[in-house]
Structure 1
């Protein structure tokens, strides 16, 4: 395989990783707020996973390992996002998660009062 062709594979694989990082980061940031994850598509995440596995398989099969490495990073990220979406959409939240969401949904003046009450105790 020529260096130019391999460079295209590396660029495609790296761009796939860079494109997915903001979605993975946003999903992690809002993991305790199921309503904030409603716009995240499960089908889209499955496609990211399939894309990552395809690029990784191509990279390994052609010995273009620099192409496979970024894709090997995307696959666990996609699985993590799918797991968080499944857990949050099916209601598998811990008691502390539910308390944090309720606290975040309160009005700012209510949160300030709660904080003052905690500080006085």
Structure 2
């Protein structure tokens, strides 16, 4: 491959490196504040994660470093984002947050009814 093609590949990879960095930083900084994470779709992150893994595997298969290089940065960022968003979705479903231990009822929230099992 000639030098010009390598430079184009490097520049394309660099643009793909930086595309997820601002959102990854936002998610990392707000990881304990679920309200600040609204508007970030888990499905978009998961699809991008799968795509980056597949592109990385393809790049390894054909021996093209620059094609798979964005995965070095994007896969960890996307994985962290999916984990944080799913954790907050689970906490929301259970009625807890990272700052309120399980079982505590947030201020103003109705208490869950007690369930009694018959023997």
- TM bin (shorter chain): 0.5 to 0.7
Asked whether the 8 Å contact 1:13–1:71 carries over to 2, the reply is no
* Alignment-derived partner of residue 14 in structure 1: 14
Distance change >3 Å, CA 19–CA 38, structure 1 → 2: same
Structure that is richer in helix per residue: 1
Distance 1:97 1:42 in 2: 19
- Greater RCO between the two (CA within 8 Å, min separation 6)? 1
* Alignment-derived partner of residue 110 in structure 1: none
Number of corresponding residues:
98
Asked whether the 8 Å contact 2:13–2:67 carries over to 1, the reply is yes
Distance 1:54 1:85 in 2: 22
Asked whether the 8 Å contact 1:49–1:78 carries over to 2, the reply is yes
Which runs of 4 or more aligned residues in structure 1 lie more than 4 Å from their structure 2 counterparts after TM superposition? none
| 5+ residue gaps, structure 2 | 101-119
RMSD of aligned residue pairs (Cα, Å)? 2.5
Asked whether the 8 Å contact 1:34–1:88 carries over to 2, the reply is yes
* Alignment-derived partner of residue 98 in structure 2: 97
Asked whether the 8 Å contact 2:91–2:97 carries over to 1, the reply is no
| 5+ residue gaps, structure 1 | 100-121
| 1:8-54 alpha-carbon deviations (Å, 9 max, x no partner) | 33322221220100000000000011111111111210232133223
Query: TM-score of the superposition, structure 1-length normalised?
Result: 0.66
Distance 1:32 1:43 in 2: 20
Shift of 1:91: 0.3
* Alignment-derived partner of residue 86 in structure 1: 86
